[in-house]
Chain A
C-alpha cells in the first residue's frame, strides 16, 4: 500500500518516540527554521568538540545535537533520526550525509539509497515521491547545517578570543 511505503515503521517509531528532543546546554550554535507553507518549526542546537588543538575544521566532532520542534510526523521523525545519525560523527561526515539525504529527497522516489551511508534515514525515500512533503523531511537537516556553520564560527572565535559565545550565534 502506498501509505505504508511512505510512513515506514522506522518513521512512525521515531515520530511516536522521538530521540534527543528538548533543547540542551551547552551549545555552540542554534538555528530556527520555519516551513512557510505550513508553519512547522524546528529550533536545533549543535555543540562541537575540536579534533585537536585550537583549529576547528571539518574534522571536529558533533558532540551533541538537540532540538525542539512542532510539525508533522515526517518532520518530527526526520529530526529524531538526524540526531541519532550525527551525534558522535565528524562535521565532514555529517555534511556528506546531508548531501546524500538531500539527493535522495530530490529523487522523486527513484533513489536506491545506500544504507551504509544513510542508515535509518533511508526510510525517507518513500517521502521523496511526494513533492509537498520533501521540505518536511529536510527542515531539521537544513537547520543542522546552519547551526553547525554557526558553531564552527563560534568555536573558532572562542579559541581566538577565549570569550563567550557571541550573541549572534544564538
Chain B
C-alpha cells in the first residue's frame, strides 16, 4: 500500500461545508458519497448565495427598470463574468443553458437551423456528404444529438474507436478527420473510463480542415483547471450541478466569432433584436441563445461554486484527486476478480472508476455497497456503446471529488470485498498477500 500522503486539500475540514456529507443512510451508516460524476454535493456557500438572491434581489433579469430588476440583472451578469473567468473566457463567450446536454443540443440544432437561416449563418450549414465525428466513449449527451443532426440533415456520423486500455484510438485519425468533417465532438474526460483525451492533437487536425471542435467538458471543468484559450476547442459544454453548483444551469462557451455566426436554437422572449408580426431578428450573443426568463438564481449559485473552487484552488483539486486516484487504482487493482475499465495508471486520467466484479452483476454490487452507506452508480452511465465495446452490459462506477478521502477509497475496496463474500463469488484473499 502506498503511503497516504496528506494532500493539498484538508478534505476532512472542507467537508464541514457540505452538511449532507455528515448524514447517515440505511440505518445509521455514515454516507460515503462516490457518485460525484453523476452530480456533486453543494457547499453551504452555494446554497447561501442562491437563497440570498431570492431573499434580496429576486426579479426577472433583462426586463423592467425597477430597482430589483436592475439588481437581479447585475447579479446575473456578474455571475456570467465570474464563470467566464473561471474557464479563462470572456463574458460575451458564455451562454447559459439548462445543462451540458442542452448546450450540446444548442450547437447541433443551430447547425441544422443554419440550412434555412440565410447567408449570414452559412458557416454552420451541414448536409449530405458532410461528416460529423464523435468517439466511442461519448456520453449519450454528446452522441445522440449528433446522430439526430445527421438524421435531419443527411450528413454522415463517424467515430473514433477506443483501445482496450480505454484510450482514444488515433491510428486512423488522418482518415476520420478530413475535408468533409464539419464538426468533431468529443469528451474532454470520459464519464466512464476517466480517460483524459488528447484534445489539442485532435483539434489541430480538425482545424486544418476548417472543422469545428466541441468539447464535452462536463467531467473536466469540475475537476481540473480548464483554460479555453489553451485547449484549442471552439465550443465547450459543462453543467453546474457537477461542480458544486445548482441544478438547472449549464454553460456553452464558444468562440465569439462563431457564436455571432450561429443561428438560434430556442426562440422567444429576450433573444430578439426586433419583432414584427410576421418576422423577427436576433439579439447578439449570448442573449441570442437565452430565450425566456433565465435561471438567474442558479447562475448566482454557480458563480458562488466557481468562487469556492477558486478559493480552494483548481490545481489543488486536481492534485488531491490525482493522489486519491493513484491510491484507488492500487486498492482496486489488488482485488481479485475485479476488472477496471479504462486506464490502469494515473496518467491522463481522472478519478472515475468503472469496474466489473466477476460473477456479480453491477446492480448487486451496488446494492451491497449501498447497504454499507456507499453511494455509487450502476448501469451503463449513459454510455451504452462504450459498454458494448467492452462487452459488458453494465458496470459499477465510483467517482471522486474534492471532498473525498482515502478512507472513502478504503470503504469502496472493503465494500467490494463484502459483495464478493455475500454472493460467494470468489474466495476472499487473505490480508497482506
Q: Which residues does A use to contact B, with CB under 8 Å?
A: 2-3, 6-7, 12, 37-41, 70-74, 130, 133, 136
Q: For the complex formed, measure the closest distance between the CB of B242 and the CB atoms of chain A, giving whole angstroms.
A: 19
Chain B residues contacting A136 (CB-CB under 8 Å) are 363
**From A2, A70, A74, A133, contact of B393 by CB (8 A):** A70
Q: For the complex formed, measure the closest distance between the CB of A42 and the CB atoms of chain B, giving whole angstroms.
A: 12
**From A2, A38, A74, contact of B394 by CB (8 A):** A38
Q: For the complex formed, measure the closest distance between the CB of B371 and the CB atoms of chain A, giving whole angstroms.
A: 5
Chain A residues contacting B363 (CB-CB under 8 Å) are 38, 40, 71-74, 133, 136
Q: Cα distance A29–B364 when bound, in Å?
A: 31
Query: Nearest CB to that of A73 among chain B residues?
Result: B364
> Is B156's CB within 8 Å of the partner chain A?
no
Q: Are B384 and A2 in contact (CB under 8 A)?
A: no
Q: Are A3 and B422 in contact (CB under 8 A)?
A: yes
Q: For the complex formed, measure the closest distance between the CB of B18 and the CB atoms of chain A, giving whole angstroms.
A: 24
| A–B Cβ pairs within 8 angstroms, 23 of them | A2-B27, A3-B368, A3-B371, A12-B423, A37-B379, A38-B362, A38-B363, A38-B379, A38-B380, A38-B394, A39-B384, A39-B393, A40-B361, A40-B363, A41-B393, A71-B363, A71-B393, A72-B364, A73-B361, A73-B363, A73-B423, A74-B363, A130-B367
Query: Nearest CB to that of A16 among chain B residues?
Result: B424
Per the 8 Å Cβ criterion, residues 377-420 of B in contact with A are 378-380, 384, 387, 393-394
> Is B152's CB within 8 Å of the partner chain A?
no
> Is B123's CB within 8 Å of the partner chain A?
no
> Is B26's CB within 8 Å of the partner chain A?
yes
Given A71-B393, A72-B361, A74-B363: A39 in contact with B371 (beta carbons within 8 A):
no
Q: For the complex formed, measure the closest distance between the CB of A150 and the CB atoms of chain B, giving whole angstroms.
A: 25
Q: Are A2 and B379 in contact (CB under 8 A)?
A: no
| Chain A interface mostly | mixed
Task: Give the most central of A37, A72, A133: most B CB within 10 Å.
Answer: A72
Q: Are B361 and A2 in contact (CB under 8 A)?
A: no
Chain A residues contacting B362 (CB-CB under 8 Å) are 38, 72
Query: Nearest CB to that of A6 among chain B residues?
Result: B367
Q: For the complex formed, measure the closest distance between the CB of A80 and the CB atoms of chain B, giving whole angstroms.
A: 14
Chain B residues contacting A130 (CB-CB under 8 Å) are 367
Q: Cα distance A3–B370 when bound, in Å?
A: 10
Chain A residues contacting B387 (CB-CB under 8 Å) are 39
Q: Which residues does B use to contact A, with CB under 8 Å?
A: 26-27, 361-364, 367-368, 371, 378-380, 384, 387, 393-394, 422-423
Given A2-B27, A38-B393, A72-B361: A133 in contact with B367 (beta carbons within 8 A):
yes
Q: Cα distance A130–B369 when bound, in Å?
A: 14
Chain A residues contacting B364 (CB-CB under 8 Å) are 72-74
Given A70-B393, A73-B423: A39 in contact with B367 (beta carbons within 8 A):
no
Q: Are B422 and A38 in contact (CB under 8 A)?
A: no
Q: For the complex formed, measure the closest distance between the CB of A139 and the CB atoms of chain B, giving whole angstroms.
A: 11
Query: Nearest CB to that of A1 among chain B residues?
Result: B371
Q: Are B361 and A71 in contact (CB under 8 A)?
A: yes
Q: For the complex formed, measure the closest distance between the CB of B144 and the CB atoms of chain A, giving whole angstroms.
A: 13
Chain B residues contacting A71 (CB-CB under 8 Å) are 361, 363, 393
Query: Nearest CB to that of B366 among chain A residues?
Result: A132
Q: Cα distance A136–B387 when bound, in Å?
A: 19
Q: For the complex formed, measure the closest distance between the CB of B260 and the CB atoms of chain A, giving whole angstroms.
A: 39
Q: Cα distance A95–B77 when bound, in Å?
A: 59
Chain A residues contacting B371 (CB-CB under 8 Å) are 2-3
Q: Cα distance A73–B367 when bound, in Å?
A: 11
Given pairs A3-B371, A38-B379, 19 additional interface contacts (CB within 8 A): A2-B27, A3-B367, A3-B368, A6-B367, A7-B367, A7-B422, A37-B379, A38-B363, A38-B380, A39-B393, A39-B394, A40-B363, A40-B394, A41-B393, A71-B393, A72-B361, A73-B363, A74-B364, A133-B363
Top 4 nearest A-B pairs by Cβ distance?
Answer: A72-B361, A72-B363, A38-B379, A39-B393
Chain A residues contacting B379 (CB-CB under 8 Å) are 37-39
Chain A residues contacting B384 (CB-CB under 8 Å) are 39
Chain A residues contacting B423 (CB-CB under 8 Å) are 12, 73
Task: Give the most central of B26, B380, B394, B423: most A CB within 10 Å.
Answer: B394
Q: For the complex formed, measure the closest distance between the CB of B17 and the CB atoms of chain A, giving whole angstroms.
A: 29
